[in-house]
Amino acid sequence: MLAGQTSTAQLFDNSGSFHEDQQTHRVALMVPLYLELVNDDFCDEAPNNKMLQTKPFSFLHFYEGFMLAADSMANSRGMNLEIKVYDVDNDVNKAVEAIADPWLTKADVIVGPFYIKPFEKVMKFASDNDILIVNPITQRSNIIDNQPNVIKVKPSFDSQLDHLEMLIRDYYHSNSIFIISKDGIADADMISRINEIAERHMDPLSYVPNKEVIKVIKKHQTRWKFLNVEFDEFDYHTDNRRLDIDSLKKVIDDSTAFANRIININYDRDSLKIVSEYASTMRNNLFVVYGNDKMFANEIVNKVTKLTEYFPLTVVMMPEWSKFDRIFNENLMKMKAIYVDDNYIDYQSIRVMSFIKKFRKKYGTEPQVYAYQGFDIGWYFLNALNDHGREFTANLDGYNITLLHSEFHFERKNEDSGFENRFWNVYQFMGYNKMIIKPLLRQSDAEETNGYEMKGVFYDER
């Protein structure tokens, strides 16, 4: 289907009968296709990898994934759809041309545009005509301010803190917590909020049985002997304190209390020197690392990997470390690295394997990330439209269905704002697998899980 053309999807139920009396839903899809670049020379060129990097292929998989979702709604739910696709990239004039189409005034939902300036132009049109508009790609939260018709799919970095709170509250409250930022001044607001979360949930003390303390000390002393390292057999340093080994042996059935601390580290100023002084060898240490710089990420991974030889630790990497390549999986496993990611594709999932098979059959290529995003957005909003009609936002905050690469948990800031997805995938490297981390089920807050699939376990391999 060419951009700008109308395609009325003749959707049938399993008996092959067309529902003439069933409501037809109108959906507009505004995707950057750059059709002006698809000339005769482009079409005559032999397919190659260089061609796949050109603009016309940038978001093509999103369109293809969305249309697969539309096909699935036709085949599985008998939904009548009229979909119109517009080629709208970062040229505002294309947005102006699109909203001049009289057909668009009767649309139920507009998906796109992808770029912010054209989106703002179409957003005003949608508001004036009371049409729901979905932004599939921006993380800017301000686009939903005073815009009740806007639905923002990409979660903002701000909402990662909800998931960090879950991690500390459920699993790392008995750890000392090292909050590491590349530049503590530039990231001051976020670091302050991370501190507040840690203070809210961290236990003041952790108690370790003396039998376990002695066991750890003996293990280290055996290693030091092997390495010919001098040490005091009766004193041992951990948690910024000295332990008297003879005294511990006298109360072997008792426990030792260790203070949990929050240590803030400005990496540009302090490096990681303070870690060796305050980290614990007796229990896990949680490192929350915040920074967007790739060089910083690589340095942290290399240095923290060396620290794992001395200290048990877990590293939470924020905000988007999943986007950094060339980080060795062996290092991530040693650090028990935790990522917060808006995309998580489980290639062992039956749903994902089925999608890949259908995508290959229809389009003759492997689906990329945008294909999964396009399918999920299509599948979610077409189902919502089919189930609840044009006013589906009345049910959006509790509307959770199974998707391919993530989940959508939409919330409003207030009654005048639009909806924003607050969900991030939280997963940890365990062995060579990525394990999804889920909140623990507690009776007191069973109704506050915001759509998490609760299984009462830490690791759930999808």
| Mean pLDDT in consecutive groups of 10 residues from the start of the chain, 462 residues | 41 40 88 78 56 67 96 91 95 96 97 96 97 94 95 95 96 96 84 96 96 94 87 89 93 96 92 93 96 91 93 95 81 92 91 96 93 97 94 89 94 93 93 85 47 28 26
Using the 8-state DSSP alphabet, how is residue 154 labeled?
Answer: S
Q: Tally Cβ neighbours within 10 Å of residue 143.
A: 19
pLDDT of amino acid 457: 25
Give the chain's radius of gyration (CA, Å). Answer: 27
pTM (predicted TM-score): 0.85
Q: How far is CA 110 from CA 126, 220, 329, 358, 404, in A?
A: 8, 62, 40, 25, 22
Reduced to 3 states (helix: H, G, I; strand: E, B; else coil), residue 413 is coil
Per-residue confidence (pLDDT) for residue 54, from 0 to 100: 63
Q: How far is CA 204 from each of CA 192, 257, 339, 439, rounded to the nearest angstrom?
A: 19, 10, 26, 22
Per-residue pLDDT, 12: 36
Q: What are phi and psi of 399, to 5 degrees?
A: -95, 100
> What are the C-alpha distances in Å from 88 to residues 36, 65, 284, 291?
11, 18, 51, 33
Could you tell me the two tokens for 108? 């139920």
Instruction: Specify which residues 421 forms β-bridges with.
Output: 410
Which residues, at least 6 apart from 220, have a Cβ–Cβ distance to it below 8 Å?
236, 281
Asked if 66 and 111 count as a contact pair (C-beta separation under 8 A), the reply is: yes
3-state secondary structure of 456: coil
As a whole number of angstroms, the distance between CA 85 and CA 102 comes to 14
Beta-bridged to residue 412, according to DSSP, are 419
- Is 84 buried (19+), middle (13-18) or exposed (0-12) by CB count in 10 A? buried
Q: Is the dihedral of CA 114, 116, 118, 124 positive or negative?
A: positive
